C-alpha cells in the first residue's frame, strides 16, 4: 500500500479514519482534502492512488458527482463511498454508478476502514457482470424513465422492450433444454392480454424455465405479492417514488439467487455421478468442505486403511493420526499450504487397522464455484504398497543385474514395462525414463511373430508357463535391426498370483553373422569341391583320350607290311594326340601357378600389329580346315601399335579366346582385332588402354552362363549336348591374365547367334 486519498470535511472523522489507516500501513502516503475541487485537482495530477475514500455530503457538492465524473473519464482508481445515516438507497446508487464499495457511518464505522480497503483492493479488477433483461411494460413513460436511469446509473443492464405477455412468451424457449438469450425477466403486473401471474405460470409450470423473474406493480397488494412468490416469482417491487434506485440491486440479487440454485443443482448432479464413479473405483476418493469435514468419502477407504467411512466422518483428523510418525510433519506441512498450491502429489506411510504398514500416494485439489467461492477440496489416496515393494526389490536387484551382461526387463501383468537394467539402454538405445510405463511391443518392435503366434505366447505366460529361449529380430531406437535371443518367465507372488513378467535377452547379431558367413563359406567350399571333382573326372577323360590315341596308333605301327600311307596317317594322329596332351599339361601348369600366386608380370615393348599377324598365321590352318572364314583387323596406327605390356600374357589371352571360338564354331566366321579407346584419346592425346575383341558365329552362350564361363573348371560342369573337349581352363586363364594387365573382360552373346568377347589392358608409357 503506497497512496490513499481521503475526501472528508469532518475533522473528527478524518482523525479517526487516518489513525486506523496509519496503524495498518504506517508508511502509507495519505492525502486528505475537504472539498471536491481539491480532490479533482489532486487526482487529475496523479492517477497513482491505490484507493480513494469519498464522503457524499461536502461543502462544494456531493461526492457522488465526482464519482460519476471520474468513471466517465475512465479513471479506474478503486473508490469507497462513505454514506451518512446508513442510507441503503444511496449506497446502492453509488455502486451502480461505479463505486467499488461503501461504508455506512454507523457508530465505530472507522474500525472497518482497513479491512474494507483490503477487500476492495483484492476485488478491484473483477469485471462487472452484464445482464440481458427482457422488459415488459405497457406505459411508455415508465419505459423511458427506466432506460434513462439505467443508462446513467447501471449501464451494465441491457434491455429488450415488449408491451404484451404474448410477446414475452414468443421470445422465450419452449423448455429448459433450449438455451435462453435473456438473463432476467422484468414484468409490469398489468399488461395487455395476459397479466404477470398468468405469464409466470406458463414460464414456471409448463415450460419449466429457471430464468429469474421480477414483477413491478403499482399496487401495494400483499395478496398479489404472496401469489407471485408461490408460483415462482423471485422478487417484486412497488412503483413508489425513487423505486428505480433499488431496482438494479433487486434484479442483480434475483439473478444471483437463481444462478446459485442452478450451480448447486449442477454440483449435486456432478456429486451424484462422482459418488457412483468413486464407489466403484480402485482409489480411495473423498471431498471435504472448507472446515475440513468429510462431505463424501468412498468405500475404498476401509479396504485400504481398515477404518470404515463413519470413522473418518466422526474424526476428521483420522488420516493424520494413522500416518506413521516419520511422515506426520510432511502431511501437516502439505495440508497447511495455501489452497491454490495443493497440486503436487505426495507419498507417505500409514498403519492400517490390522497393523500393516501401507504406502499411500495422495493428491488433492481445490474446488470453486463460478464466482470463485471456495467449496472445499477433492482428493485421491491410492494404495501403492505393491509398487513400493517392487521398487525396493528392483533397487536391491539393480546392482546385480546391471552387471550381468544381459538385457533384463520387467513388466506388470498387462505388459507395461516397470524396470529395465543398464544393458537395455546399451543394446536398444532407450533410457529407462523413455520406456518405463510403455507397453513392451511398442518398444521392442519385432516383425517375427504374427497375431496368432503372439496370442499363443501371451496365453502361455498367463498360464504360468515360461517361454524358452527364442531367436528373433528387434528394432533399436535408431532403427537398426539386431538379432536377439531371449526368454520370458512369469513373476508369481506368495499367493500364487502372476504379478508381472521377467524378460532376459542377449544380442546375438555377431554370432548370427558368423553363422551366416560360415554357411556361405561352407556352400562355397562345397561348390568348389564339386567343381574340382568334376574337373578331375574330366581331366581323367581328357588325358586318357590323347594317351589312348598315342598308345593305340603306336601299336599299329608295329604291325608288319603296313603301307607308307597308313604309317604316315598313324604318325600324324600320334603327333596330334601328343600336342593335345601337352596343351592340357601346359594349362594345368599355368592354372596351378595362378592358384599359388606365383605368376609374375614381365613388361616389355610389344608391337600389337605383329602379334595379330602371328596369331592369324598360327590359327589359320585349323580354322580353314573347319571350313570357317578367319578375319583379323589392324585398326592401330604403327605408332599406336607399339606399347609396353607383358607379351606372353597378352598372347595367351588372345590365343585362349581364339581357341575357344574355334572350338564352339562349326560354320560362319571368326574375327579378331584391336582398337584404342576414343574417349580416352580425345581427353589425353594418347590412349591409356587398348581394347581387343574376338567375334564368332558359334553356338552362343545363355545369359545365366555368361558370368560362369570365366570361372575355373566350369567347362567340366556343363551338362548339355554342347559341351566340347577341353579342360575348361582357357577362359579362366584369360580372365586372370587380363586382371594382371589392369583390364577387364566380358562377353555379349545369344544362343545360336554367336559370341563377342572383349577385353582391355592398360597401356604403359614407352618412355
Residue 29 and residue 163 share a domain: no
Residue 261 and residue 323 share a domain: no
Per-residue pLDDT of 220-263, as tens digits, reads 667 777 888 888 898 888 887 778 877 887 888 888 788 877 77
Q: How far apart are CA 97 and CA 64, in angstroms?
A: 9
Number of folded domains that form the chain: 6
Tell me how many helices (H) and strands (E) the chain has.
Answer: 26, 30
Residue 739 and residue 691 share a domain: yes
Q: How far apart are CA 187 and CA 236, in angstroms?
A: 9
Residue 275 lies in a domain: no
Residue 257 and residue 148 share a domain: yes
Residue 767 lies in a domain: no
- Mean pLDDT over 48-63 rounds to 87
Q: What percent of the chain has pLDDT over 90?
A: 23
Give 579: exposed, middle or buried? Use CB within 10 Å, 0-12, 13-18, 19+.
Answer: exposed
Q: Where do runs of H (alpha helix) occur along 336-384?
A: none
Per-residue pLDDT of 21-45, as tens digits, reads 999 898 899 999 999 999 988 888 8
Q: What is the per-residue pLDDT for 716?
A: 38
CATH number, domain of 170, equals 3.40.50.2300
Q: What is the per-residue pLDDT for 723?
A: 45
pLDDT at 727 over 90: no
Among 241, 266, 291, which residue terminates a domain?
Answer: 266
Q: 568 vs 278, which has greater pLDDT?
A: 568
Highest mean pLDDT among 179-193, 395-409, 560-574: 179-193
Among 93, 123, 153, which residue terminates a domain?
Answer: 123
CATH number, domain of 707, equals 3.30.565.10
Q: What is the pTM of this model?
A: 0.34
Residue 454 and residue 358 share a domain: no
Q: What is the per-residue pLDDT for 540?
A: 62
Strand order across the 184-188 sheet: 157-162, 131-136, 184-188, 213-217, 235-238
* 313 Cβ contact partners less than 8 Å away, ≥ 6 residues apart: 293, 294, 297
Distances from the Cα of 48 to the Cα of 5, 75, 226, 379, angstroms: 10, 10, 51, 43
Residue 616 and residue 715 share a domain: yes
On average, the pLDDT of the chain sits at 82
Among 349, 366, 383, which residue terminates a domain?
Answer: 383
Q: Where do runs of H (alpha helix) occur along 51-139?
A: 63-72, 88-96, 113-123
Residue 146 and residue 85 share a domain: no
Residue 252 and residue 194 share a domain: yes
The Cβ of residue 677 has, within 10 Å, a number of other Cβ atoms equal to: 16
Three-state secondary structure call for residue 319: helix
Residue 610 and residue 461 share a domain: no
The Cβ of residue 754 has, within 10 Å, a number of other Cβ atoms equal to: 21
pLDDT at 515 over 80: yes
CATH number, domain of 434, equals 3.30.450.20
Q: How far apart are CA 187 and CA 197, in angstroms?
A: 10
pLDDT at 189 over 80: yes
Residue 336 belongs to what domain range? 281-383
Q: How far apart are CA 448 and CA 485, in angstroms?
A: 12
Residue 518 and residue 500 share a domain: no
Distances from the Cα of 586 to the Cα of 377, 622, 662, 729, angstroms: 103, 20, 19, 10
Residue 274 lies in a domain: no
Three-state secondary structure call for residue 182: coil
Highest mean pLDDT among 369-373, 421-425, 686-690: 421-425
Residue 135 and residue 84 share a domain: no
Residue 271 lies in a domain: no
Residue 353: closest CA among 286, 303, 280: 303
Q: How confident is the model at residue 682 (pLDDT cuts 50, 70, 90)?
A: very low
Strand-pair partners of 420: 409
In this structure, the chain runs to a length of 767
Amino acid at each position: 500500500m503506497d497512496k490513499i486519498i481521503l475526501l472528508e470535511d469532518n475533522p473528527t472523522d478524518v482523525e479517526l479514519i487516518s489513525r486506523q489507516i496509519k496503524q495498518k500501513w504506517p508508511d502509507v502516503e495519505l492525502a486528505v482534502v475537504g472539498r471536491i475541487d481539491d480532490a479533482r485537482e489532486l487526482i487529475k495530477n496523479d492517477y497513482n492512488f491505490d484507493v480513494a475514500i469519498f464522503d457524499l455530503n461536502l461543502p462544494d457538492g456531493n461526492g457522488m458527482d465526482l464519482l460519476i465524473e471520474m468513471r466517465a473519464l475512465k479513471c479506474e482508481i478503486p473508490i469507497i463511498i462513505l454514506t451518512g445515516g446508513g442510507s441503503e438507497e444511496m449506497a446502492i446508487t453509488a455502486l451502480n454508478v461505479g463505486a467499488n464499495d461503501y461504508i455506512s457511518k454507523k457508530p465505530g464505522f472507522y474500525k472497518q476502514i482497513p479491512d474494507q480497503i483490503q477487500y476492495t483492493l483484492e476485488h478491484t479488477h473483477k469485471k462487472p457482470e452484464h445482464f440481458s433483461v427482457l422488459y415488459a411494460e405497457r406505459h411508455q413513460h415508465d419505459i423511458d424513465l427506466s432506460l434513462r436511469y439505467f443508462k446513467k446509473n447501471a449501464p451494465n443492464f441491457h434491455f429488450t422492450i415488449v408491451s404484451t405477455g404474448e410477446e414475452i412468451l414468443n421470445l422465450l424457449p419452449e423448455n429448459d433444454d433450449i438455451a435462453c438469450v435473456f438473463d432476467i425477466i422484468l414484468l409490469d403486473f398489468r399488461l395487455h392480454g395476459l397479466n404477470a401471474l398468468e405469464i409466470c405460470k406458463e414460464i414456471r409450470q409448463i415450460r419449466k424455465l429457471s430464468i429469474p423473474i421480477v414483477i413491478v406493480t403499482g399496487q401495494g397488494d400483499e395478496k398479489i405479492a404472496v401469489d407471485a412468490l408461490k408460483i415462482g416469482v423471485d422478487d417484486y417491487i412497488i412503483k413508489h417514488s425513487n423505486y428505480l434506485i433499488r431496482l438494479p440491486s433487486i434484479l442483480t440479487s434475483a439473478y444471483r439467487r437463481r444462478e446459485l440454485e442452478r450451480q448447486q443443482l449442477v454440483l449435486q448432479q456432478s456429486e451424484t455421478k462422482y459418488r457412483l464413479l468413486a464407489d466403484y473405483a480402485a482409489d480411495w476418493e473423498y471431498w471435504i468442505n472448507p472446515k475440513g469435514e468429510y462431505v463424501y468419502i468412498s468405500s475404498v477407504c476401509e479396504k485400504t486403511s481398515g477404518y470404515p467411512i463413519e470413522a473418518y466422518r466422526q474424526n476428521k483428523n483420522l488420516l493424520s493420526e494413522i500416518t506413521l510418525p516419520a511422515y506426520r510433519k510432511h502431511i501437516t506441512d502439505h495440508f497447511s499450504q495455501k489452497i491454490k498450491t495443493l497440486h503436487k502429489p505426495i507419498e507417505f506411510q500409514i498403519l492400517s487397522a490390522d497393523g500393516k504398514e501401507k504406502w499411500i500416494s495422495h493428491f488433492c485439489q481445490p474446488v470453486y464455484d463460478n464466482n470463485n467461492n471456495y467449496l472445499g477440496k477433492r482428493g485421491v489416496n491410492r494404495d501403492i504398497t505393491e509398487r513400493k515393494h517392487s521398487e525396493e526389490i528392483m533397487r536391491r536387484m539393480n546392482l546385480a543385474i546391471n552387471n550381468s551382461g544381459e538385457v533384463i526387463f520387467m513388466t506388470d501383468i498387462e505388459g507395461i514395462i516397470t524396470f529395465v537394467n543398464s544393458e537395455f539402454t546399451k543394446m536398444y538405445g532407450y533410457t529407462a525414463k523413455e520406456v518405463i510405463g510403455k507397453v513392451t511391443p511398442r518398444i521392442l518392435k519385432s516383425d517375427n511373430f504374427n497375431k496368432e503366434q503372439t496370442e499363443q505366447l501371451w496365453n502361455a505366460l498367463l498360464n504360468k508357463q515360461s517361454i524358452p529361449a527364442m531367436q528373433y529380430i528387434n528394432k533399436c531406437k535408431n532403427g537398426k535391426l539386431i538379432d536377439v535371443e531371449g526368454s520370458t518367465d512369469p513373476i508369481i507372488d506368495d499367493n500364487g498370483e502372476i504379478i508381472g513378467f521377467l524378460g532376459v535377452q542377449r544380442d546375438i547379431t555377431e554370432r548370427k553373422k558368423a553363422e551366416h558367413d560360415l554357411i556361405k563359406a561352407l556352400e562355397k567350399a562345397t561348390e568348389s569341391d564339386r567343381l574340382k571333382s568334376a574337373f578331375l573326372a574330366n581331366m581323367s577323360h581328357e588325358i586318357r583320350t590323347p594317351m589312348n590315341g598315342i598308345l593305340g596308333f603306336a601299336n599299329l605301327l608295329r604291325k608288319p607290311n603296313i603301307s607308307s600311307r597308313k604309317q604316315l596317317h598313324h604318325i600324324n594322329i600320334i603327333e596330334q594326340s601328343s600336342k593335345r596332351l601337352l596343351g592340357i599339361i601346359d594349362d594345368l601348369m599355368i592354372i596351378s601357378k595362378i592358384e599359388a600366386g606365383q605368376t609374375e608380370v614381365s613388361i616389355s615393348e610389344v608391337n600389337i600389329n605383329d602379334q595379330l599377324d602371328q596369331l592369324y598365321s598360327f590359327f589359320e590352318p585349323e580354322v580353314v580346315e573347319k571350313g570357317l572364314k578367319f578375319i583379323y583387323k589392324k585398326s592401330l596406327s604403327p605408332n599406336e601399335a607399339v606399347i609396353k605390356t607383358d607379351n606372353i600374357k597378352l598372347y595367351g589371352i588372345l590365343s585362349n579366346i581364339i581357341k575357344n571360338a574355334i572350338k564352339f564354331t562349326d560354320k560362319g566366321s571368326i574375327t579378331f582385332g584391336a582398337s584404342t579407346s576414343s574417349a580416352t584419346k580425345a581427353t589425353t592425346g594418347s590412349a591409356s588402354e587398348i581394347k581387343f575383341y574376338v567375334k564368332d558365329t558359334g553356338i552362343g552362350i545363355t545369359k545365366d552362363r555368361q558370368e560362369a564361363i570365366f570361372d575355373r573348371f566350369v567347362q567340366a560342369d556343363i551338362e548339355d549336348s554342347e559341351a566340347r573337349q577341353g579342360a575348361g581352363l582357357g577362359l579362366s586363364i584369360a580372365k586372370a591374365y587380363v586382371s594382371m594387365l589392369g583390364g577387364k573382360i566380358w562377353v555379349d552373346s545369344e544362343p545360336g547367334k554367336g559370341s563377342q568377347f572383349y577385353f582391355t589392358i592398360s597401356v604403359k608409357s614407352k618412355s
